[in-house]
Amino acid sequence: MSRLKLSHFRLIAAVAEHGQLSPAAASLSMTQPAASRMLREIERLIGVPLFERHAKGMSLTEVGGLLARHAETLLTEIRETVIEVEEFKLGKGGRVRVGAVTGAAVGYVMPAIQKLKATSPNADVHIDVAPSDTLIPELVSGHLDFVLGRVPPPFDPRSFVVSRGRNEIVDLVVRRNHPLAGANAISIGELSDYEWVLQSSGAPLRVVVEQAFLAAGGTLPRNIINTTSLLAMIALLVTSDAIAPLSREVSDLLGGNSGGLGLAVLPIREALVVAPYHLLSLKSRPLSPLASRLKELILLELGGYDRP
C-alpha cells in the first residue's frame, strides 16, 4: 500500500469514473496496454482485485471502492493546492494581517481591502485596529505583516520600511441636539466645563486636544470618561452632552453633520492635527505577494486623499 504512486491513484480514479479501461487510459493520455499493465501492478501491490471485469466494463470491488474514494480525495486536494499556490504567487491567495490606527483603518485600509477582495475573494485578510503602541510590537513579533500607524519609543524607526503617511485631522463630535451644536466658531478653551469622552492618557488624539486647551489658555477638562473603545465612545455621544475627539475619517463615516447617527461636528477655531502616521513594514522581513498587493492598494488610497 505504501508503494502506491500518484499515477496509480489517478488511474484508479479514472477507471472508477469511466467504468472502462480504454476511456480511462485516454483521459490520462495513456495507451490501453500501458494502463492495463499499471492496473495489474496496482492489484499486485494491494494483493486483491480492485475491479471486477465483465462484458459491459469494470466495476469496483469493496477494496477498490475504498481506494477510489481516497484517490478522489487526494487528487482534489492536490488540485486545490496547485490553485492555492498559483494564487499565492500572483498575490491573489494566502493570508495577510494588517494593523491600523482607527482613522487610518476607516479611511484607507478598509477601502483597500474591499478592492483586494473584489479580485481575490479567496484571500484570507485580517485587520487589527488598535493604538500604535499595541500594533508595533505585534508587527515586530511577526503577528502583523505591516501597520498603518506611528513608531512609538523605544522602537527604532530605522528598523522599518516607512512609506507614505498622512496627518490625522481631529473633529470634536457631539450629538446633534447638543447645546453647542448650532453655535458659530468656538474656541476649544471655552469647552473646559463640558463633559468629555477621551481616549486613554497619552493617546495621540487626546494629547492634541490637551495641547490645544493649553495653547488657548484654557484649563484642562475635569469631567472625563476615559475609554479605548470607539463603540463606547459613540454610545456616550448619542446619549449625553459629552464631547469626543474623533479622526475626520471616523466622524465622516458616522455621518458628521449630514445625518447618520445624529451627530454633529463642533466648529472649532483651532486646527487639531495629530502627527502623521505612516505605512510601516519590517526591513528584515519580506512581504508575501498578497501582503504586497494590499500594501500597494493602501498606498493608492493614501495617494488619492484630497483633504488638507
Q: Encode the chain (308 residues) as per-residue pLDDT tens digits.
A: 568 888 999 999 999 999 999 999 999 999 999 999 999 999 898 989 999 988 888 999 999 999 998 888 888 888 877 776 777 777 666 889 999 999 999 999 999 999 999 988 888 899 999 999 999 999 999 999 999 999 998 999 999 999 988 889 999 999 999 999 888 889 999 999 999 999 988 899 999 999 999 999 889 999 999 998 999 999 999 999 999 999 999 998 887 656 667 899 999 999 999 989 999 999 988 888 889 999 999 999 998 543 33
Burial 108-146 (b: 16+ CB within 10 A, else e): bbbebbebbeeebeebebebbbbbbebbbeebbeeebbb
Torsion region of 29: left, alpha or beta (phi above 0 gives left; psi -120 to 50 gives alpha): left
Q: Which three cell numbers stand for residue 241?
A: 452632552
User: Which residues of the chain are in CATH 3.40.190.290 domains?
Assistant: 168-274
Contact predicate 246/260, CB 8 Å: no
Q: Which three cell numbers stand for residue 68?
A: 477510489
What is the value of pTM for the model shown? 0.67
- Can you name the residues that pair with 146 across neighbouring β-strands? 98
Domain 168-274, second-level architecture: 3-Layer(aba) Sandwich (3.40)
**Domain 95-165+275-303, CATH homologous superfamily name and number:** Periplasmic binding protein-like II (3.40.190.10)
Tell me what pLDDT residue 188 has.
94
User: Which residues of the chain are in CATH 3.40.190.10 domains?
Assistant: 95-165+275-303
Domain 6-89, second-level architecture: Orthogonal Bundle (1.10)
Crossing angle for the helix pair 289-303 and 62-89, nearest 10 degrees?
40
User: Which residues of the chain are in CATH 1.10.10.10 domains?
Assistant: 6-89
pLDDT, tens digit, for every residue of 188-214? 999 999 999 999 888 999 999 999 999
Q: Is 155 exposed, middle or buried (0-12, 13-18, 19+ CB in 10 A)?
A: middle
